[in-house]
């Protein structure tokens, strides 16, 4: 005979749990978001860090990165998108499973960033619907996790906005940075054997 583990150990054996089918479906959906990483530049490195052990996206059930659009429901655009790449991005979006979600990660994906040129798309939301804008250059992994959790909350509440014809509308959630920017420049010091610091630029004495 095996001993009970997990949820069944916490519940009395003769109890019954009732719920609504919608709630179970939404709980399953939000607990198993499968992202497709469309990482074209440096933001992609932070995206990789988000899935690694330090930040561990698996805690939120969204670590199963899929490179096949038909197996993914969350498109994460991380990095600048060139005009030449745009048709690929649009095709990937169209091939993804419904209901699908889009995160625009970083300044380049949302606005073109510093690449104000004719060759770079000045915001992917001009061509595909974006649900969450994650700010930063690059955004920290915590910010990306916050963006994914924003989508999970909407899925959980069964709160998908639609127009009168039933077509899904983008959520248009813009996250705000959750850290305070330190004043710049930060004073630098040089360590000495006596553990004393002297301001940078002080001439060394022989
Ligand atoms: S937003 Fe910054 S970090 Fe991200 S792709 Fe653009 S330049 Fe790189």
β-pair partners for 76: 37, 103
Tally Cβ neighbours within 10 Å of residue 90. Answer: 13
Q: 33-70, pLDDT tens digit by residue?
A: 999 999 999 999 999 999 999 999 999 999 899 999 99
Helix, strand or coil, per DSSP, at residue 189: strand
What pLDDT does residue 182 have? 63
Whether the CA torsion 53, 56, 58, 64 is positive or negative: it is negative
Helix, strand or coil, per DSSP, at residue 7: helix
Instruction: Check whether 2 has a pLDDT greater than 60.
Output: no
Cα separation, 44 vs 188, whole angstroms: 30
Cα separation, 168 vs 166, whole angstroms: 6
Report the predicted TM-score, pTM, of the whole model to 2 decimal places: 0.80
Q: Choose one of 44, 48, 50, 113 to mutate for the ligand 1 pocket test, by most ligand atoms within 8 angstroms of C-beta.
A: 113
- Residue 151 banded pLDDT, cuts 50, 70, 90: very high
The backbone torsions φ and ψ at residue 119, rounded to the nearest 5 degrees and listed phi first, read -90, -10
Q: Choose one of 80, 82, 110 to mutate for the ligand 1 pocket test, by most ligand atoms within 8 angstroms of C-beta.
A: 80
Between 132 and 5, the more confident residue is 132
Q: Which residues of 103-125 are buried (b: 16+ CB within 10 A; e: fewer)?
A: bbbbbbbbbbbebeeeebbbbbb
The long-range contacts involving 48-53, CB below 8 angstroms and separated by at least 24 positions, are 49/141, 50/141, 50/144, 50/145
Mean pLDDT value across the chain: 85
**Averaged over 142-152, what is the pLDDT?**
93
What pLDDT does residue 73 have? 92
**Averaged over 9-28, what is the pLDDT?**
81
**Averaged over 184-196, what is the pLDDT?**
58
Rounded distance from Cα 107 to ligand 1 centre (Å): 6
Tally Cβ neighbours within 10 Å of residue 31. Answer: 13
Instruction: Check whether 187 has a pLDDT greater than 80.
Output: no
Cα separation, 83 vs 126, whole angstroms: 12
**Averaged over 14-37, what is the pLDDT?**
88
What pLDDT does residue 9 have? 72
What pLDDT does residue 170 have? 87
Which structure tokens are listed for 82? 């060139």
Cα separation, 190 vs 73, whole angstroms: 50
Q: How far is CA 150 from the centre of its chain?
A: 9
Rounded distance from Cα 68 to ligand 1 centre (Å): 24
Instruction: Check whether 198 has a pLDDT greater than 50.
Output: yes
Ligand 1 atom closest to Cα of residue 42? 8
Q: 72-128, pLDDT tens digit by residue?
A: 999 999 999 999 999 999 999 999 988 899 999 999 999 999 999 999 999 999 999
Instruction: Enumerate residues lining ligand 1, CB below 6 A.
Output: 41-43, 79-80, 106-108, 113, 137-138
Residue with the smallest CA separation from ligand 1 atom 8 is: 42
Q: Are strands 189-191 and 197-199 parallel, antiparallel or unpaired?
A: antiparallel
Q: At what angle do helices 141-156 and 43-51 cross, to 10 degrees?
A: 70
Cα separation, 62 vs 68, whole angstroms: 15
């Amino acid at each position: 005979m095996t001993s009970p583990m997990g949820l069944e150990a916490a519940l009395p054996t003769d109890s019954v749990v009732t719920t609504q089918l919608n709630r179970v479906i939404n709980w399953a959906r939000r607990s198993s978001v499968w992202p497709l990483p469309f990482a074209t530049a440096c933001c992609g490195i932070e995206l990789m860090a988000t899935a690694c052990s330090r930040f561990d996206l698996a805690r939120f059930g969204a670590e199963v990165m899929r490179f096949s659009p038909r197996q993914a429901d969350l498109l994460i655009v991380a990095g600048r998108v060139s005009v030449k790449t745009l048709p690929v991005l649009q095709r990937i979006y169209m091939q993804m499973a419904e209901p699908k979600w889009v995160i625009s990660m970083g300044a380049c994906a949302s606005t073109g960033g510093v690449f104000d040129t004719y060759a770079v798309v000045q915001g992917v939301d001009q061509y595909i619907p974006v649900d969450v804008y994650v700010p930063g250059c690059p955004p920290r992994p915590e910010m990306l996790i916050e963006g994914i959790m924003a989508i999970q909350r909407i899925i959980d509440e069964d709160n998908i906005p639609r127009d009168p014809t039933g077509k899904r509308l983008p959520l248009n959630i813009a996250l705000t940075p959750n850290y305070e920017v330190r004043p710049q420049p930060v004073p630098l010091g040089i360590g000495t054997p006596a553990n004393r610091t002297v301001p940078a630029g002080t001439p060394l004495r022989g």
